[in-house]
Structures are given as C-alpha cells and as structure tokens.
Structure 1
Amino acid sequence: MGDVVRAPWDAYFVTGYDTCSEVLRGRNWLAPDFAWQERQPDPERWQAAATQEMTKTLSRLNAPEHTCQRRSLGNLFDRSTIERLTPLVEEHATRLLDDLADKLRWGEADFVSIVSEQLPISTIGSWLGIPPEDHAHILEITHNQVHAQELLPTRSQLAVSAEATLQLRAYFTELVAHRRAHPGNDILTGWIHHWDAREPDRATADEILYRLTMFVTIASLETTATLLSAMVDLLLREPSRWEWLAANPGHIDAAVDEVLRYDPPIHINTRVAAEDTVLAGVPIAKDSMVHVMYGAANHDPRRNPDPDAFDIRRRGTHLTFGGGVHYCLGAALARLEARTLLTELLKRFPTLRTVAPADYASRLVFRRIVSLGVAA
C-alpha cells in the first residue's frame, strides 16, 4: 500500500524502513507534546490524567525541555555502567533460573511470571534502590498504566490508567523524598545532587526527579520483559535452533537482535509534523500525526530480505530502539539482560521446550506476553 498510508482517523501509518527512519531522526517530526495536544479538537482524549502525566516524561518532550532533561541523565548505560551492572544482572538471572528449575521439577512452569517479568524489575530496582518487597506493586501498576499509551485507548482503559498513574506518582514521589533524606552511593542520589544545583526551587526539582525516576523504571519493565519472553518463545519453536545456539554461543548477540527485529516489544510510535511537508511523496499537513510502525519497518524486504523468516544468523537491521534524540535510553541494558539470561538458559536448560503458545495481551502499541508455559 506504500510507505505512507492514510489511517482511518486523521493520521498516517508509516511502514517502510527508510521512511520510518527519516521520521524518527528528522527535526521536522516532533513528539506529541502539550503544545500540540492543546491544539487538538478532542480534548477528552488528551486531557486524560494518565495521558497528561506521560506527556511530562522524556518520551513526549521536545527541545529545549527534552535536551535539558536528557543531558541531566548523561549516557545512562555507557560501557562502564554496563560493566558494573553485569555481575548484578548475572546474580539476578541465576537466582531466577534457580526458581525456574525448582518449579520445573514438578512439571510445567510459567516463564513470564517466574523469570522474564522478574529480571527487569530486579535489575532496575537494585540500581535505583527500590526495595524488593515493592517490586510486585510496581509491576502491577505499570501493567495498568500502559493502557494510556495505546493508539486508541477506551474510556475504561483510561480510567484504569488514571488510577495507576496516581499510584505511580505517590510511590516515586515518596522514593525521591526518602532518598533525599537518606542519600547513598546510587544513581538517584546523583540525580538529586544535579537538580538541586541546577534548580533553585526544591518543588520543581522534586517534580523533575519524580518524572525521571518513574519514567526510567516503567520504560525498562514491560518492554524488556516482552523481549525476554519473545526470545524464549521464538527460539524454542524449533528445538534444533535451541540446540544449535547452545553449541554456537558466539551467535547469542545476533539471536537477540533477530528477536528485536522480528517481534519488537513496541510496534508503534507516534510523531507529529512540525510544518507542512512531504513524506515519501505524500503531502502531510502541519500537526498531522504519523504512526511509525516498527514491526512493519523491520519486515521491509528492501532492508531485510525474506523478512518473515526468523533467522538467528541473519545479522539484519532494525528500528526497535527508535532513532534520533529519542533513541531508547535503556537499549544497552536490555541487550545485557537478554544476553545474560539466554547464555545461562542455554547452559542450564538444554532440553527446555514450550508447552503452550505465548499468550499475548490485546494491544497495538506495547506488546506484552502474559504467559508462556515451559517444561524441561
């Protein structure tokens, strides 16, 4: 149908790899921020509490606000940080796979609830100092809040997201206040020092700190959990593939990238035209929404030949982590968690198999595997 296809509503789907990349990296394409939302004719959709709250986070900010907050984070997961986090991720992966082994002795087990949802919250929780006893609560409200980021959320979904948003605000505001009163040698304490020095108004600094901490946490949970679940599901669909990768661990990174290409955790991202423009030969008016289709872009045969084949030796390319100023902050951490987990799984569970298809939540934007039954 083309690289740019008119949506049933006042927007466009962008499907081709190069065209999606152009939107993600181009200065003429902006995140749908407050200024854009105020110009829309359907205020109920954009004034929902959860939508308003997410519009204050990095993913919905444009320059100069986005530039300021992003710089405060620095290169969040640079090489030295990943090196420091590696033993921690390995420790959590070992503990969770011990739990999986215990469950598998009695038969089948749900890989999602035991491993793939737990590794991201354990990792980010340790890094930010979120107490382990709070992990289940954070996971629950994250699952509920994400409805507001769907393409066309219903009124009931927005209500669920609104309640979850209130809980997220309460939790992370308290976390920042507690860390301010009890500073430590951790990343959140560093952010507090940075914003206290930069922002003379304490209330404003605390608001920024709450949003940064909340966003970094929830952005790293469902997406990484879905990557880990999809990785196991896709690799186990052919037992010979699992066996080959166990015998050829040098291809683990390539296998992770093929999972990211084949079924990205986020399928759609939205941008708006900063001015009247033409995209792939299609005139786009200022303020029009374009929905960047990550899954379609990754399956563009002009970029990845035979794109619907899952091939762990492909070494193809993908846009799963986005591009431009909004490139995913946690890309290196997600890769670390996937690589570490897959390495240990192949060593410890050579006969692992799925006993039921992956159960996906009914979503368009944020993919989520709800359960994945496995046995050994």
Structure 2
Amino acid sequence: MIASADSPFANSSPSPAGFGSALALLGRQQPVVFDEAMGAPLVLRYRDVAAALRDTATFSTRFYGMGPMAGVMISQDGEEHSRQRRIHNRFFSASASRRYAEMVRPLAERTFRPLAGRPGAELMSEAIAYYPMTVFLNLLGVPDDLGHQGLIWVREVMAWLASPMNPEFAEPGGRAFQEMSDYITGLVERERVTPGDNLLGEIIKAHLDEGGYTPEAVTVAVVGLLLGGFETTIQLLAGTLVSLLLHDEAMRRVRADPSTMDAAFDEALRWASPTAGLYRLVLRDTEIAGTPIAAGGMVYLAIAAAHFDADAFAEPESFIMGRRGTHLGFGIGAHYCVGAPLARIEARAALSVLLDACPGLRLDPDRPLAFRYGARGFVQHGTDTLPVLTA
C-alpha cells in the first residue's frame, strides 16, 4: 500500500513529466497497488489500463450517473450510450468543426494577441484559465459575463464528481449542476425556435435528426461537454506550451510548420498528461496483472503512469513529436472523449496566435514551475501558474 504522504498524487514536480514518471516507476515494481490518497487500487501499466478502458462490461462508468447526472453520456452503457454518441458525432462533423474553428480564431486573437510587446506575463491567470470558457460561451451564444458564474458551477460539479461518495461535495455539486442545467435549458428553449450555425444550434439539430430531442436531452449534452472539456483544455494548452518551451527543437518545428501542432498536442497529452487517470466501478470479480479485484469496488486507471510505460513507449522520458504508440489522453474505446475535436480547435488557435504574437516567448527562470495532481482545484494534472517572458 502507498501511504497518503508518499503518494505521487500528493507531491509536485518542476517538470510536467515528473508525475507520470514517478507513477510508472511504481508500476515497474508492482503493476497494481492500493493508494491511500486516492482510496483505490492504482492500475499502472499501459496494457492493463488500456484493456480496462475498453472493457466496459467489467469496468463501468455508471457511478457518474448519480442524482441529476443520470443522463450524461459518460454514465451510459450499451445502446443508450451508442445513441448519444451518434448524436454527438453529428455536431462534431467536419463541416461543423470548420465553422467552430472560424468562430474560435477571433477569440484566441482577443485573448492572446494583447500579450505582444509586453516583457512578461503569468499566462495561466491572464489568458489560459478563462480562454476555454470564453470559447464555449461564445459558441453557445451566451454573454461573456456568465463566465465567472460558469466557472463556479463547473468547479463545484467537478469536485463532486471527483469524490462522488463525499457528502461535503454532494450538496453544493448537486445544486450547481441544477442551476447550470436550468440556465442552459433556458438557452435551449430560445434557440429551438431558430437553430443557428453555432454549437448550440448544431446540438439541437443533431437531436432533432436522431428523433431524440427534448430540452433536457440537449441540456445534458451541453453540460457534459462543458464538464469534460473545460479544465482538460486549460491544462492541455499549458502542458503543450511548457513542453515546447523545454524542448527547443520541438518549438522550432512547430514555429516553422504549424501543421505539426497536432503532433505536439499528442505528445504533450502523453508527456505532460493533463488526464492523470480515471476511476471505474468494478461490476464483476476480475483480475488485473495477477491481482484479484472484487466486484463492487473502485479502481483508478492511472493514465499518467501508462504514458511512461517503457513497454508501450520507447524512451518515455523524452518528448518526441510524431512518436509511435497511442496515448490515452482522450481515453480509448467506447468512452473516447467526444469533445476531443473541440479541444484541438481551441488549442490550435491559441497556440498559433500566442507563438505569432510572442516570438521571444520563454519560461521565466526566476519563477520555477510546479506541476501536480489537483492543480487549480480540479482533478486534472497540471500547473496553477505559468510565468513567462514574452519579449
């Protein structure tokens, strides 16, 4: 067993690779080990994590469906999950995604272009932390002034989801979910009259086309996207920037050829691992790497550890764009992140504008970084601050 004080989940590192590397080291010694800080066995090897993510009959997401969260796609299995995913795929079609990209670029300009010509900045608080919420609200046609309240709602709901059995988080989380849902349902009912070319209009049309439209169903889809993509996008962007700033050759490649950005994001999703891992409810007695796992308990699939498994990735400590191997940053199998296309759209626009606006961008050597699990009060792995010199 790993005591709480010794858990990598309780420590920080100056490198975004430190967390996953420390977990993978544990995995080489013991592929499944109970972590007191996380309250569950950690599954630490790539092949075991990937297999469990694919095996929804044994390792379930049903626990997400408590109370008002019962309808969200991640809590569904079987045909209902497939039906909801078909609907989501419609509003992330190639043509819809191109329209979203056109809408997002001006928002990235508005957020990151003002950094040009300044001597330095704290990128997290000054730009990155509010950028995904700005994008999401604009895609929905929601006034920007909801952003602060939206952040409060998301933070309280995510705290509840991270500790679903903790009564301290259940009451405020459930209340925040209901308030957020009520607000979005009002937007849906107004948009239903004349669905537009924005994200909300596409979600409504997708539900109408599949014959499953209700204001509540559309609201659940919108809330699911917001909860699933908000903080992950923040830490994806922060992790990618730090990864590039720590690797001069990778930064030169991205600046010279913007088409390599996706390769940078993919390697940052592995090397900096914004998604530390995922809980799963065990539905039937099973065994992982020789360790018996009883039905009714929880396991934690440590994605960050899997990303530094040398059996899955050659030279895992190195940041190598275009490397072979499939990262698990967006999951794998039936519950692969449906919002991944939007996260990439947001990240491409932000990175493109920022690198163009700040050709001298570099880390501030006098303000060391600290990457940790639970950054900014969320369940992602990342950083609270990102101090840089911009000129």
What TM-score results when the alignment is normalised by the length of structure 2? 0.79
Give the aligned length. 356
Distance change >3 Å, CA 198–CA 232, structure 1 → 2? closer
SS in 2 for 1:141: helix
Residue 73 of structure 2 corresponds to residue 58 of structure 1: yes
Residue 310 (structure 1) aligned with residue 315 (structure 2): no
Match of 1:13 among 42, 46, 49: 42
Specify every segment of 5 or more residues in structure 2 that has no aligned partner in the other structure, as ranges: 1-28
How big is each residue's C-alpha offset from its partner over 1:36-63, in whole Å with a ceiling of 9 and x where there is no partner?
98xxxxxxxxxxxxx5333431112222
Tell me how far 1:222 sits from its aligned partner. Answer: 1.1
Task: Give the 3 Å change call, closer, same or farther, for CA 197–278 of structure 1 in structure 2.
Answer: same
- State yes or no: 1:283 paired with 2:296: no
Contact 2:153-2:180 within 8 A present in 1 as well: yes
| Partner deviation per Cα, 1:265-286 (whole Å, 9 max, x = no partner) | 2212122233222332223233
- How do 1:316-327 residues align onto structure 2 when only pairs under 5 Å count? 316-327=325-336
Counterparts of 1:315 and 1:338, CA distance in 2: 22
Residue 140 of structure 2, aligned match among 123, 128, 141:
128
The CA distance in 2 between the partners of 1:241 and 1:189, in whole Å, is 38
Offset at residue 187 of structure 1 (A): 4.3
Taking the aligned partners of 1:253 and 1:209, their CA distance within structure 2 comes to 30
1:209 maps onto 2:221 in alignment: no
Q: 1:25 matched to which residue of 2? A: 54
| Pairwise CA distance, 1:315 | 5.0
CA distance in 1, matches of 2:241, 2:166: 32
Q: Which amino acid aligns with 2:360?
A: T
1:149-168, CA deviations, whole angstroms, 9 ceiling, x for partnerless residues?
Answer: 22577554445434432331
Where does residue 47 of structure 1 map in the other structure? none
Tell me the equivalent position of 2:87.
72
Q: Label 1:339 to 1:19 Cα distance change in 2 as closer, same or farther (>3 A).
A: same
Separation in structure 2 between the aligned mates of residue 213 and residue 248 of structure 1, nearest angstrom: 34
- Equivalent-residue separation in structure 2 for 1:122 and 1:288 (angstroms): 38
Counterpart of 2:235 in structure 1 is: 226
The superposition leaves residues 179-224 of structure 1 with CA deviations (integer Å, 9 ceiling, x where unpaired) of 2355434443454456568779x8xx22222211111123221111
State the distance in 2 between where 1:159 and 1:27 align.
29
Tell me the SS of whatever aligns to 1:12.
strand
Task: Label 1:19 to 1:151 Cα distance change in 2 as closer, same or farther (>3 A).
Answer: farther
**Structure 2 residue 107 is matched with structure 1 residue 98:** no
Alignment check: 8 A CA contact 2:121 2:388 kept: yes
Counterpart residue number, 1:298? 307
Contact in 2 for aligned 1:29/1:273 (Cα 8 Å): yes
Paired-residue identity, %: 29
From 131, 137, 161, the equivalent of 1:149 is 161
**Residue 228 of structure 1: how far off its partner (Å):** 0.8
CA contact (8 A) 1:268 1:364 kept: no
Residues 225-277 of structure 1: per-residue CA shift (max 9 Å, x gap): 11111222232235565345424545432222111101222212122233222
CA distance in 1 between partners of 2:369 and 2:69 (Å): 29
Shift of 1:293: 0.8
How big is the alpha-carbon RMSD for the aligned residues of Structure 1 and Structure 2?
Answer: 3.1
Say if 1:277 and 1:131 are closer, same or farther in 2 by CA, change over 3 A: same
Which stretch of the first structure deviates more once superposed, 20-29 or 165-174? 165-174
TM-score (norm 1): 0.82
Aligned counterpart in structure 1 of residue 339 of structure 2, from 312, 330, 350: 330
Matches within 5 A, 1:100-249: 100-101=115-116, 105=118, 107-151=119-163, 155-181=167-193, 183-192=195-204, 195=207, 205-237=214-246, 242-243=251-252, 245-247=254-256, 249=258
Q: Quick check: 1:239–1:353 contact (8 Å CA) kept in 2?
A: no
> Quick one: distance in 2 between partners of 1:373 and 1:194?
41
Deviations 1:323-373 (A, max 9, x none): 111100111222232233223333331211233344662668323533322
